[in-house]
Structure 1
Amino acid sequence: MLTTKERKLIQSIRKGNTRAFSELVNTYKDLVYTLTLRMLGNREEAEEVSQDTFIKVFNSLEHFKGDSKISTWVYRIAYNTCLDRIRLRKSRKFLDVGEMQDFIFTEMDTALDKMVREERGRLVGQCLAKLPSEDAGLLTLFYFEEKSLLEIENILNVPVNSLKVQLFRARKKLAAVLEGHLKPEILQNNG
């Protein structure tokens, strides 16, 4: 499933070429960070988990068989590392709702478009943060990272049919949260 370029990159990393590993990190760092930020809702934690992800990638590269794309493998590690962090967070019981905000969006055509998009993004980000982490992660992979169900199946190790059901339920939850968030705003603006 690996391309010739990916095979050569992995072989080079396994031989100790640090530039090759930097190339791998540079290729996937933004995507990993986006996933971790959406799942964790906190920039500092997302940065830490992103770094942990690449440490795990480096340490387990020797065992990577190449039966999936590198991107799928890296996403699976990032997703599982996020879940580990969430479990740790729950065991320490220091989850703070205030941490579930502050999303940054870049490059808009005009100042007005930027403001509208930032507000919409902030709203979606806040609503995603209110969902269980698994739902937020799934929605992020499918909609924001535009992964196919087959790619997500490989990342999460969950059958496509189960993913369809989970995605349907996650969308329903997000719609309910969005509706609950928008109703007071609509009533306030029309009242």
Structure 2
Amino acid sequence: MLTDSEKKLIDEIKRGNTNAFSELVDIYKDLVFTLSLRMLANREEAEEVAQDTFLKIFNALPKFKGDSKVSTWIYRIAYNTCLDRLRANKKSRVFKDVAEMEGIIFKDMDNALDSMIMDERNAMVNACLAQLSSEDAGLLTLFYFEDKSLIEIEKVLNTPVGVLKVRLFRARKRFAKVLEMSFKSEIFQDNG
């Protein structure tokens, strides 16, 4: 169900208020881009898919009935747009380093060290996610990084909760295996 503020925002957009649509984009752009980046593992393609997603959202708004959360509806469009792009490309996914450290100026060494550790963790998580299928990466992103419940994911992916539980369990196992291999590889390289 829509909140009052979401309903007002959607109504304003339907009336042609471009500022209201800009507000909607501002609210959801980071979430759409994060999901796209995790699924596509390519910054440029993720940016294009995010733009395509918002074009689809704008065109589909007149048909939006409001029987689900706006965020759930937007995630579904973003997820399907990513899958469409993956199908269209039919090429293997290549991991690109998400953490771009160039040009960052730190105020003190503690902040710099904390930031570097977090960037390394993010890079490792992104590298491991990039080795998974797009579906696994998307599901893990929605559940763990976007904190979506299984019921919300059910609406986004149009997949029953029971099936999602099994897919999530298997995706976690595959992610853990990839993470374990990455750690072993890193340890081997450090000791070699």
Q: Which residue of 2 aligns with 1:166?
A: 167
Q: Which residue of 1 aligns with 2:137?
A: 136
1:118-176 Cα offsets, whole Å, 9 max, x none, are: 11111110110010000000000111111111111111111111111000000000111
Percent identical residues = 66
SS in 2 for 1:147: coil
1:76-135 Cα offsets, whole Å, 9 max, x none, are: 000000000000011xx4x353xx121138999611111111111111101100100000
- How far apart in 2 are the matches of 1:45 and 1:187? 33
Contact 1:101 1:122 in 2 (8 A): no
- How far apart in 1 are the matches of 2:189 and 2:30? 38
Q: Which residue of 2 aligns with 1:104?
A: 99
Which ranges of structure 1 fall in alignment gaps of 5 or more residues? none
Q: Which residue of 1 aligns with 2:20?
A: 20
Q: TM-score, normalised by structure 1?
A: 0.92
Structure-to-structure mapping, 1:15-164, within 5 angstroms? 15-90=15-90, 93=91, 95=92, 97=94, 100-104=95-99, 110-164=111-165
- How far apart in 1 are the matches of 2:191 and 2:127? 23
- How far apart in 2 are the matches of 1:162 and 1:73? 20
Q: TM-score, normalised by structure 2?
A: 0.91
Residues 118 and 8 of structure 1, relative CA distance in 2, 3 Å threshold: same
Equivalenced residue count is: 186
SS in 1 for 2:132: coil
Residues 96 and 156 of structure 1, relative CA distance in 2, 3 Å threshold: closer
- How far apart in 1 are the matches of 2:100 and 2:187? 24
C-alpha RMSD of the superposition: 1.8
Residues 18 and 145 of structure 1, relative CA distance in 2, 3 Å threshold: same
User: Which moves more between the two structures, 65-74 or 5-14?
Assistant: 5-14
SS in 2 for 1:140: helix
Contact 2:40 2:93 in 1 (8 A): no
1:39-77 Cα offsets, whole Å, 9 max, x none, are: 000111000000000000000001111000000000000
- How far apart in 1 are the matches of 2:158 and 2:189? 44
- How far apart in 2 are the matches of 1:55 and 1:184? 42
